Structure 1
Amino acid sequence: MRVFGIATAADLLRLLLLPGFAWAAYRDIRTRRVSSSLWYPLLAIGALAFAIDAAAAFPFDDYAGRLFLVRAGFSLLFLIPFSFLAYRMAAFGGADMKALVVLAVAFPTTPQYVVPLWILPDVTWLHTVGFPAHPSALGVAAMSALTNAVLFGAGYIALLFASNVVAGRLSPAMFVGRWTAVDDLPEVHGQIIRVDGLRPVRGLDLDALRMYLRWRGTTLAAVRAAPDAHRDPASVGETHPPTDGAVHDGPRTDGGTGDVGPTDDTGGFEFPDAADDAVATEPESVTAGDASEPAGAEDPWAAERFLGDIEGSAYGTSPERLREGLERVTSEDALWVSPGLPFLVPLFGGLLLALTYGDALTVVLGALGLV
């Protein structure tokens, strides 16, 4: 039964999840960190909506009841294992996995909303419109949200490639990377890329770089100003908590004094002019083991000490990868960075699209004559 003629009680409950997903998307953009505590109330709301629908369909002895079981079974028995598998294979982050689990529980079917658009002056009739406009044949909104998110992600990659081509930044890394000023790295998420022949290879994670700088109690500007001094492991004095390397967590590592991030629309990115670009390659400066290192430097940059001193592995960073990354950020002015994709952003957009329009993938495949 529809409440106020708009939607069922379960479908209205599901709307309460949208602010939570919007907040998660915002945090994913800003810090790539989403607290686990966010997902528990969202899961509870989704489970309540699921229970209301299941009670309405019970005892599942008619067509509508059996259809509910099929759709709920697909959502729970496919999407939840898929999310865990993607997480185990490092295709998803922990927050991405939890978000998809919430979606699978909360949206095993496609909600239906009837929204009034206007009332004529004489109040003789009410014009309404139904959402989603083009629901998928499968009828599982969680799956529509996921496929929509995949389309958004593919569009992001295409835009990244196109922006590099237009700017004249031609390199094997242009498919996955942004040409980024080193001075901007403290406010950037992702991994440094080096080009190995025709193959882009991911290097130091920038979260690990921030962890290292916070552990040393220094800034990227200071390290760039005196790399030889910082390369000497004896230069490490009192160490500090490394935090988890989030951009806005802990002391800033760019020499700033505030904890407020960039406010410009580019999120802190400022690319050099194309005429000044040079494809990032292996640095020609001093590398680990060179004779020009300080005498007795058995652990250049104190990389092994850092990784042994902290809890965990600093995002899988090895001493060699950390040293290579430090050599590059101290010898180059700009380099390629793989920014990754904050997946909660396209997932939130995919959910909104699923609730208003429907399954965009079906429409695209239909336009291509594939379905």
Structure 2
Amino acid sequence: MTLPGASATVPDLLRLVAVPVFAWIAIRDIKTRRVSSGVWIPLALLGAALLVWDAWVARSAGPLAWQEFLLPTAISLGFVVPIAYLFWWFGGFGGADAKALMVLALFFPAFPQYVVGSWTVPLTTTPIGSFSFTILTNAVLVGVAIPVVLAVRNAAAGRVAPVMFVGWPVPWDRIPETHGSLLQTTSGLSRRGLDLDALRMYLRWRGLSLSDVRDDPDRYRDPSTLPDEPNPPTDGAVHAARSDGGESVSAESDGESIVDGSESVDEPTASEESKTDDPWGAEAFLSDVEGTAYGTTAEELRDGLEVLSSEETVWISPGTPFLVPVFVGLVIALVYGDLLLGTLL
């Protein structure tokens, strides 16, 4: 919180640490789709300490400053935090997205103020004065703009398709290093397809690479080629402790022998009935892994494998993580202010 007529306070200067941290979080989320829960704890503690500091300064400055502190703080903690939790509860946000917004609600309850040369930023404010709410609305607007950017990019390259607003085509050999989901099925383009993390889990579980599958798809459709002792599937992240799904696994990792699924086994784990009822061993995989493979069904896994075993180029959705719009929304808020209300008012 910055008092009228003053330059940036010490708490507001300390709040700028959020910019490089959220930049790192956004980059990590793009590359791995994984953000450690441990990153939020120090940020939350610092945010809480700065909030107490602001409260003490505002209380000491008089009733007007105290009132100007209470309203945006109440909106930040009483609205932004619950809405982040509710969106996570109903599946609209990932856990990291919700935690990021909760941390920002602590970090930026009110509009900060920074003097850069002859400029004072943010350039605009809002009547309610809740900075975390501004970051949220900015992030939503940036998120809405992403499909438009994708469509323009695809149109400029001559790639006109029903899914041009949500994805783009990539060569098959980039799939092992790509997060997102297939937008392509055996019956055509679709907005819902195989989760690529689930695909990597399956390949690691069998000890195969995507190249193995493409080299001999008929062989691997037969579940009798499933290994006796499947490998740990990991969580499907591109950079995992074990096989990355891009190379056949034949080495030892963490002291455990990993079976190469490209080799036949003497005692197949699949029953005679499953040899005809479970192509690719999809049901065997899903029944063996703990929990669910990101909600993937056996039919989706089979269909995705059929596509990837033959197509040279496939459409995928990168599924841009919301932490990227959150970071961009934070930067816009610090420089300009509220994209929506600041423009309209």
Note if contact 1:103-1:142 (Cα within 8 Å) is conserved in structure 2: yes
- By how many angstroms is 1:298 displaced? 2.7
Note if contact 1:157-1:176 (Cα within 8 Å) is conserved in structure 2: yes
Note if contact 2:71-2:128 (Cα within 8 Å) is conserved in structure 1: no
The equivalent position to 2:141 in structure 1, one of 151, 157, 165, is 151
2:218 maps to 1:228: yes
Note if contact 2:169-2:315 (Cα within 8 Å) is conserved in structure 1: yes
Note if contact 1:135-1:354 (Cα within 8 Å) is conserved in structure 2: no
Give the distance between the partners of 1:198 and 1:328, measured in 2 at CA.
Answer: 10
Residue 212 and residue 199 in structure 1: after superposition, are their counterparts in 2 closer, same or farther (change >3 A)?
Answer: closer
Match of 1:11 in 2: 12
Match of 1:174, SS? coil
Q: What does 1:1-371 correspond to in 2, within 5 Å?
A: 6-58=7-59, 62-115=63-116, 117=117, 128-194=118-184, 200-237=190-227, 238-249=229-240, 250-255=242-247, 296-364=275-343, 366=344, 371=345
Q: Give the aligned residue type for 2:122.
A: P
Match of 1:253, SS? coil
Match of 2:315, SS? strand
Give the distance between the partners of 1:10 and 1:38, measured in 2 at CA.
Answer: 20
Q: 150-159 or 219-228: which moved more?
A: 150-159
Match of 2:190, SS? strand
Give the distance between the partners of 2:205 and 2:188, measured in 1 at CA.
Answer: 35
Residue 164 and residue 11 in structure 1: after superposition, are their counterparts in 2 closer, same or farther (change >3 A)?
Answer: same
1:204-232 alpha-carbon deviations (Å, 9 max, x no partner): 10010011111111100111111111111
Runs of 4+, deviation exceeding 6 Å: 195-199
Give the distance between the partners of 1:296 and 1:302, measured in 2 at CA.
Answer: 8
1:291-334 alpha-carbon deviations (Å, 9 max, x no partner): xxx99333211111111111110100111111111111112222
Give the distance between the partners of 1:170 and 1:41, measured in 2 at CA.
Answer: 46
1:274-301 alpha-carbon deviations (Å, 9 max, x no partner): xxxxxxxxxxxxxxxxxxxx99333211
Aligned length: 318
1:111-136 alpha-carbon deviations (Å, 9 max, x no partner): 11223x3xxxxxxxxxx432212223
TM-score w.r.t. the length of structure 1 is 0.79
Residue 186 and residue 167 in structure 1: after superposition, are their counterparts in 2 closer, same or farther (change >3 A)?
Answer: same
Give the distance between the partners of 2:305 and 2:190, measured in 1 at CA.
Answer: 18
Residue 22 and residue 7 in structure 1: after superposition, are their counterparts in 2 closer, same or farther (change >3 A)?
Answer: same
TM-score w.r.t. the length of structure 2 is 0.85
Note if contact 2:282-2:301 (Cα within 8 Å) is conserved in structure 1: yes
Q: Percent identity?
A: 48
Q: Give the aligned residue type for 1:62.
A: P
Residue 6 and residue 60 in structure 1: after superposition, are their counterparts in 2 closer, same or farther (change >3 A)?
Answer: closer
Match of 2:270 in 1: none
Residue 296 and residue 342 in structure 1: after superposition, are their counterparts in 2 closer, same or farther (change >3 A)?
Answer: closer
1:161-214 alpha-carbon deviations (Å, 9 max, x no partner): 112222222221112221222221111111112479998330110010011111
Unpaired runs of 5+ residues, structure 2, are 250-272
Residue 295 and residue 47 in structure 1: after superposition, are their counterparts in 2 closer, same or farther (change >3 A)?
Answer: closer
Note if contact 1:20-1:42 (Cα within 8 Å) is conserved in structure 2: no
- By how many angstroms is 1:363 displaced? 4.1
Give the distance between the partners of 1:15 and 1:130, measured in 2 at CA.
Answer: 15
